[in-house]
Every structure is written in structure tokens, then in C-alpha cells.
Structure 1
Amino acid sequence: MSYQPSEEILEKYADVMINFALNSGEGVKPGEVVQLRVPEVAKPFLVALRRAVLKAGAHPLVFFTPDDMAREFFELANEEQLSFFAEKFHRGTVDQIDHTVAILAETNKKELDGIDSKKIMTAQKALKPYMDWRRAKESAGNYTWTLAMWGTQQMADEVGMSLEEYWEQIIEACYLREAKPAEKWKELYEKLYSYKDKLDALKIEKLHIEAENTDLWVKLGDNRKWLGGSGRNIPSFELFVSPDWRGTEGRIQFTEPLYRYGALIEKAYLEFKDGVVVKATASKGEDLLKEMIAVENADKAGEFSLTDRRFSRITKFMGETLYDENVGGEYGNTHIAVGSAYRDSYTGDPSSVSEKEWAEMGYNNSVVHTDIVATSNRTVTAYLKDGSSQVIYRDGQFTV
């Protein structure tokens, strides 16, 4: 039996995305241009999003993408086509837009199974200038983005849920049964920020993460602050930081499956030495994992994150990183992103920093940013700049 959320739910969902998530919790302003990137299967959400943009007095710029067309591209495209970059088109798009709303919705989660991973990464690498332009505009304070999900039958089938059960997780996670969901998000972010402020006040030099088959050190470095509650992802319950990649050392076992580039990676395991991945294994999708890490600077850490189980409203594995990197459950979660760092983790004005200075501070830069998640019980100990240490996370929650 098919299921679709009610018009009331969709209206609230769109309101959260347009009037809260963008502009870092402030919502869009009249006259701004909002890029809406929505797959074909999520058309009902596109209708609601465009309506919310128009009611806000802003300008919707719609990118409506057809389903189930990716595989043929990789089957037919030659090397030149794989690496083609529409420079004028992408440059004009970045110059034009003030915000982006991107919706995840899949009709075949394994559409690219069997496709040569080198082809997938060639196409991904071609987009690096576009990503750099967006990052520069964001650092200058002239661009924001947010990401959300539309549940499909195929996504629900993949994780053994009915479509209604799958949507129940989305509705609950996004506060869509509340009379004013945006107000609930603001309340949550106030609580999250109390922990963020405590972490920042500790002046952490490095973190030690201990769990089953995990013994990892992560150096935060200077000029860092913890992030969370910006509206960049809906839902988002995590606190995260972009570390100095050069100080990542040790090993970490990830527990959650990762759907990436139309394929599946299971039980990923990474070892770092002097900040660089020196060993990468997986019980499934190992070739793709290694090909991804082989991309320039994708073998370095760009993000370290913790989710407190008391805040997260996600209780089940969803098969989508947006949700799985925010799952609560018994022990919350930790995840590391290999690849690009978040430059808004910098304590100063990001727009005033040169590329050379970013590199000198250990902020990683890559076309890849892939979050890999572990839900095993872990203890995280902070070693502070004054020489003392303190456990900041245990049994799935912050202890600060």
C-alpha cells in the first residue's frame, strides 16, 4: 500500500527548510534566490518547497532531476565525458544563488553496483571547482545550504521498513507533528549550544577515542570551534569539529553500512598514521572505499563528530548518511568524515584566510566529504592545552 505524508506535514516540512534552515536559522529573505535540487520521485515536496519560497518573497530556481538515469551515463560516457566540467554554467549558478535546498530521495540505492569505481570518482573530481566556489561564497557569508530527505518505497525496503514506518522516522526526527516545528528546532539548538560552549571552553588539544577495535587520536589544532545547530542538515543532532588532519593517529572500526555513489560499503575500517589513511578495509565495497580514499586529500580527516543519544530522535538505521550520522539509540554515535573540512569551524573570519593559511592550519581540502559512522559504545577523553585531561563523552552522552 502506497503512503505519502499529508499536505499539512509537507507544509510544515517546507516551512522548516525555507524559513528556518536557511540563513543559519533565520530563513530566507525577500529577493534572495533559492536553488531547489529535487529528484523526480519527490515532486510533492518540490511543490511545497517552491510555494514556501514564493510566500517568503524569494525566487525559486528549480533543478528537477529524473530518476534512474545515472547508471547509463557511466556505462556510455567516455573519459572526456566523465571529466567534463560545465564551467560557465556552474560559475553562473554559484554567482546567482543565495541558498540551496537539496533533497535526498532514491528509487534504486544500488543503481551503480558493478560500475567501475574509477569512473564514479572521475566524475566526482570534475566538480571540484564548483565546490570550491560554493565554499568561498559560504565563507564570505553570502551563501547557505541545507539538506533533507524524502522517503521512498525503495529506501524503506532496503532497511526492512514499510514506507509509513520510514516516514514516521522522518516526521518524528524533524518535529513535523509539532504545531510550530521551527520553534522546537530553536529550543533544541539552545540545548546543543550549551554543550558546544562547554566543549569550546575546555581548550582541547586532542581527543582519544576508545571502543571495540578502535583506538584513535584526533588533534583539534588551533583556531577551532565546535559546530552544530546551524540548519545545514535537517535533522541534525550532532556536535562536530574540523580537526587538524595531521594529528589523526590510530584505528577506528565503523559499524554502520554506508550507501555511497550508488553502492554499499559495509564494516569499513581505517588506520591513520601521521594523519593519512594507511589501511582501509571493508567486508563489502572495499574497492570503492579504497578508490574514494585515493582521491586527492580524501585519505585525511575533515570532520570529527559526536551525537548525544538524549537529543537524537532517530531510533532506526535508515540507510542514508543524513540520518545515520545523527542516530541516537543506546550509545549515540560518532563519525569521521574523510575528505574536506568545514571551514566555519575556524574561530575567525573564514573569508580573510588564504588557501595557504588554511593548509598551514591543517584544514583539509578535497572534492570528497564522506561521513562514516560507528554506534559502538565509546569513551572520548579530551587532553587539554593546560596538560590536564577530562572524559567528555561516555555511554552515548556528553559528560561535560
Structure 2
Amino acid sequence: MSTFNENLEKYASLAIEVGANVQQGQTLVISAPISAIDFVRMLTKKAYEKGAANVLHEWSDDVLTRTKFELAPDETFETYPKYLAKHRIDLAENDAAFLFVLSSNPDLLNGIDPKRIQTNSKTVSTALATFTKYEMSDKISWSIVSVPNEAWAKKVFPELDGEKAVHALWDAIFNATRANLSEPVNAWKEHIDTLESKATYLNEQKFKALHYQADGTDLTIELPEKHIWISAESINEKGTPFVANIPTEEVFTAPLKTGVNGTVSATKPLSYSGNLIENFSLTFKDGKIVDYQAEKGYDTLKHLIETDEGSHFTGEVALVPHHSPISDTDLIFFETLFDENASNHIAIGKGYAFCLEGGKEMSEEELKDNGLNDSLTHVDFMIGSEKMDIDGILPDGTRKPIFRKGNWAF
């Protein structure tokens, strides 16, 4: 059995070698909370050992973030430093890779005026829109990993005290990311191949629509004519592979913006902007959210949906079997990076250009004409369960089973 330090080393190697896939002579930008300094030092060392020319760091801190939202004047949240946005864009245009280290506190902004959170989210999203476009069109290599903190760990394991909860969350992360295996890099190569085989089958079928049925869900999602199913591995404009999410269990594509109809119920809480949204449902007509309910976090959900016109529509549909390494833990992580990989999910907001045939080369107008949604935001929420059935509908109306009782049916 591997020790904690051995698993941590393997986890860092996965982030550098499989996630960001740092190349010889490349610059790596690591964005992380200051609480993750020890892990960032490990990542930095491995990046240089892999051949990085330079490793740059962007830091954040939950306490400082909370203080700002409590005490800063309202107008502070209406501006974003231009030099920070330009710095990101300049690095991206000079072939830098980006590694985002998350350390969630699902309740960080609990009690903060949702309007402040909405204003800040919109301001930041607007300022970083060009960078986000680079991410969502595979221009650059980027990846996301997570490290525990005590507040997050105690949310996941409320029955444990602080230190034990943190260790338990580390173990869950190592398991979910396959970092606790003897050769995780090779295990990831096999995992990528498995997911790619599912994407290949779905692409061969050329389904016109998907029909979802489960408790509280009866939803039809039409797909663009040029849709492409994507799995774990992406390829940047230089031809270099990378894995954007560690972990990942999904195969996904873009829905037709105006082709979503029916009602869908979330099956896991959504942590959004430091607040939890729980037991919520959305109703769609011709792609647009026309009604929504939430037992907790209604105002947060409202402000998410009202971010802009595009946040009233969807940008992603993802298939994840109920029996997966993350789902089988029966844990709710209160972190979308993990919870989305335990469940089928869809996303409010912007669609990925690379989910359309030829989409990476399309103009914004061409993407729109081909049915892709545009928005400042992209937020996944979880809808899968062991009771979910999904049919693929062919152009002639024939149905083929994709999921039965929450798992792959082919």
C-alpha cells in the first residue's frame, strides 16, 4: 500500500504529465490558494523536471476573498484589473499551459448579498472572456486538480474532526484520480482509451436527440447536426494532448441551443460562488429556462440564470455512468469537479466550440448558426441517478438505449 507522500507525488505527476502535459521549453502558470503552497512547490519541481522553461504562480486566499466581499464598496465588484486579464491572454498567446489548483469552501460566501456575487462573477467573466474562449476552443493546454482544506473536508465528512476529515478527503481524491494505483499514468492512458471508445460509438450513431427519464426528469435534448462527442483527452492547437479535468469520467457534447424541452431535477447540490443550491429543478421550452425551483439557494440560482441571455440556455450535455469510481464512494463532494464525474450532468451557459465539427475554426457567428450557445458563464449541475434511462433518437425516429438504470446500455 502506498504511503500518503507517495500518493501525493503520484498525484502531482498526474497533474503535470497527464493534465497540463507540460512540454519541453514551455511556460506553466499555476493558479492556487496559498493554503496549497506545499503541493504547489511539488508541482513546480515536477514541472521543471519535465522540461518547463518557467513556472509562474497566481495566488488567492479564502480569508481575503471573504473580507473583500464583506467590506469592499459595491463599485469594487464592477471592475477587474486590465493588466491581470492582459497578462493571462499574453501568456496564452505565447503557448503557456495553465494548471488550476482548487481548494473549495462550499460555504465561503454564505450570507453575502447574492447581487454582489453576481456582479463580481459577471465582471470577472467579461474581463476574462478572451481567455475563456481560448480554453473552450482548445487553443491552450489547461487542467484542474483539487486539494483539501479543513472547511471543505468537514463538509464532506461532518462526522470526523478536522485533521481526520482532511486525511479522509485526501484518500477520496487519490482514489477518484487513480493516484493511489501503482502506475497511475498508465492507468490514465487505459482510462482515456475506454472513454474514447464510448465517444466513438456515439459519434457513429449521429443521434438527433437524447431523451432523459427519471424521478422528476422528463427531458429531450436535441443535438446540433455537426455535434461531436468528446471524452477525457483534448488536443491543443499545437497538437499536444492534455486532460482538462482530473478526475474525469465523462463523455460530452454540445446541445442544440434551442432544442431543449421538458423538466430536469438536480440529483446533487451545486456549489456556486461560495453558496450551495440544493433540491432544484429547471423547466425548458425551446432551449430556454422558463421556470426553476430550489429548496435552498433560490436567489443564487436566480442570479446564475440571469447572468446574461446565454445563461438562460445550455452549453453541455455529459454522460457519466452511475457506477464509477467517484459515484461508488456514495460521497457528495460539494465540488463540481468531482460531483459532475459521479453523475450525468448538463451545463448552464457557454458551449464548447470543439464539440462541433470544424468548430475550432468557426467565427462566433458561425458557431451561433450551427446551434452553439454563447454566454459569459458555464456551470455544470448534476442530474444522474441509478434510476435514469436515456434513449438516443436517430433522425428517422428510431430509439436506441444509451443508459439503463443509470449505466451504459451498450
Match of 1:100 in 2: 98
Q: Is the contact made by 1:35 and 1:100 (CA closer than 8 Å) also made in structure 2?
A: yes
Match of 2:318 in 1: 305
Pick which of 154-163 and 169-178 moved more: 154-163
> Is structure 2 residue 338 aligned with structure 1 residue 323?
yes
Please give the alpha-carbon distance, in whole angstroms, between the structure 1 residues aligned to 2:59 and 2:49. 20
The answer for unaligned runs of 5 or more in structure 2 is 234-242
Please give the alpha-carbon distance, in whole angstroms, between the structure 2 residues aligned to 1:122 and 1:113. 16
Q: Is the contact made by 2:195 and 2:231 (CA closer than 8 Å) also made in structure 1?
A: yes
Q: Is the contact made by 2:260 and 2:285 (CA closer than 8 Å) also made in structure 1?
A: yes
Query: What TM-score comes out, normalization by structure 1 length?
Result: 0.92
Q: CA offsets per residue over residues 272-331 of structure 1, 9 Å max, x none?
A: 01111011111000011011101111111111111123443442211111111112xxxx
Please give the alpha-carbon distance, in whole angstroms, between the structure 2 residues aligned to 1:358 and 1:308. 29
Match of 2:388 in 1: 378
> Is structure 2 residue 219 aligned with structure 1 residue 216?
yes
Letter in 2 for 1:399: A
* Partner secondary structure for residue 179 of structure 2: coil
Q: Is the contact made by 1:105 and 1:151 (CA closer than 8 Å) also made in structure 2?
A: yes
Please give the alpha-carbon distance, in whole angstroms, between the structure 1 residues aligned to 2:222 and 2:288. 13
Give 1:140 deviation, angstroms.
6.3
Matching of residues 1-400 of structure 1 within 5 Å: 6-22=4-20, 27-58=21-52, 59-97=54-92, 98-106=96-104, 108-138=105-135, 141-160=138-157, 162-230=165-233, 231-296=243-308, 297-314=310-327, 315=329, 316-327=331-342, 333-350=343-360, 352-376=361-385, 377-400=387-410
* Partner secondary structure for residue 256 of structure 1: coil
Q: Is the contact made by 2:393 and 2:399 (CA closer than 8 Å) also made in structure 1?
A: yes
Cα 1:138–1:151, aligned 2, differ >3 Å: closer, same or farther?
Answer: closer
Give 1:66 deviation, angstroms.
2.2
Please give the alpha-carbon distance, in whole angstroms, between the structure 1 residues aligned to 2:316 and 2:138. 21
Give 1:121 deviation, angstroms.
1.2
Please give the alpha-carbon distance, in whole angstroms, between the structure 1 residues aligned to 2:80 and 2:262. 37
* Partner secondary structure for residue 390 of structure 1: strand
* Partner secondary structure for residue 245 of structure 1: coil
Give 1:76 deviation, angstroms.
2.8
Q: CA offsets per residue over residues 134-176 of structure 1, 9 Å max, x none?
A: 2443466541211111012221211225222222211111111
Please give the alpha-carbon distance, in whole angstroms, between the structure 1 residues aligned to 2:39 and 2:295. 36
Cα 1:6–1:312, aligned 2, differ >3 Å: closer, same or farther?
Answer: closer
Q: Is the contact made by 1:207 and 1:217 (CA closer than 8 Å) also made in structure 2?
A: yes
Please give the alpha-carbon distance, in whole angstroms, between the structure 1 residues aligned to 2:72 and 2:311. 24
* Partner secondary structure for residue 317 of structure 1: coil
Please give the alpha-carbon distance, in whole angstroms, between the structure 1 residues aligned to 2:275 and 2:380. 15
User: What CA RMSD, in Å, does the superposition of the two structures yield over aligned residues?
Assistant: 1.7
Please give the alpha-carbon distance, in whole angstroms, between the structure 2 residues aligned to 1:138 and 1:286. 30
